Amino acid sequence: MTTQDTCRSCIDCGRKACQKSNESLYPEYCLTKNASKEQLTQTRETYMEEYNNEVMVQTAKIQSKYYEKLTRVEETILFAKEMGAKKIGIATCTALLKESITLAKILRAHGFQVFSACCKVGAIDKREIGIPEQYIKHGPNICNPILQAQILNEEKTDLNIVMGLCVGHDVLFHQYIEGPTTTMVVKDRVTGHNPAAPLYTSHSFYKKLLNEE
């Protein structure tokens, strides 16, 4: 028996029975079925905390009124407005700076104050933080997600938007950012920032990802 056999979860189920509380379809390893009463009670209570509740209510409101009608950009603007955000932070990759400038223009046109920190902020040389020589490619300076987060924290932004931070750098950004943060663009240099593309085509063009003979 492999670890995969003994460690089953939602990705092994695919029944989505939890969507409509269809208990007869819950598998024996079902995470809903096996959640403790205490866990569920604590989760419900946490959603009743003021800020969390506001996020959930506003998200439900947007979904119920505009499902499949608004783009991500429009939904983000609406969410920010409904949450009462005045100042928006943009943590952008320099490669996405053009798109971030456009996003800022749109946000400003909707009355928001916008402040952005790009990933190369601080201009720190890769050698200064011990990046081995053989990995120094695509420019001398590091992406600096920690400083990006600290600057946006100091600016006391009401809502932050991530624009195309690299895999890994985004981990550190999320670790250090203090304010509420949503993602607009995830970087995928190969697919034009559409990481779902290889998933959609894993039965054909991206079959290689499954490591099958």
Task: Give the interface with ligand SF4 as residue ranges (CB under 6 A).
Answer: 10, 13, 15-18, 26-27, 30-32
**77 vs 83: CA distance, rounded Å:** 10
Q: How far is the CB of 10 from ligand SF4 (least distance, A)?
A: 3
For residue 116, CA distances in Å to 22, 26, 78, 139, 160 come to: 45, 45, 20, 21, 9
Q: For residues 13 and 166, which CB has a smaller minimum distance to ligand SF4 in the complex?
A: 13
**168 vs 178: CA distance, rounded Å:** 18
Q: For residues 21 and 211, which CB has a smaller minimum distance to ligand SF4 in the complex?
A: 21
Q: How far is the CB of 16 from ligand SF4 (least distance, A)?
A: 5
Tokens of residue 175, six digits? 């670790």
Q: How far is the CB of 25 from ligand SF4 (least distance, A)?
A: 7
Q: How far is the CB of 3 from ligand SF4 (least distance, A)?
A: 18
Q: How far is the CB of 202 from ligand SF4 (least distance, A)?
A: 20
Nearest to 86 by CA among 55, 58, 112, 116: 112
Q: Helices 37-47 and 50-66 meet at what angle, rounded to 10?
A: 80
Q: For residues 43 and 175, which CB has a smaller minimum distance to ligand SF4 in the complex?
A: 43
Number of Cβ within 10 Å of residue 119's Cβ equals 26
Q: For residues 27 and 180, which CB has a smaller minimum distance to ligand SF4 in the complex?
A: 27
Q: For residues 19 and 211, which CB has a smaller minimum distance to ligand SF4 in the complex?
A: 19
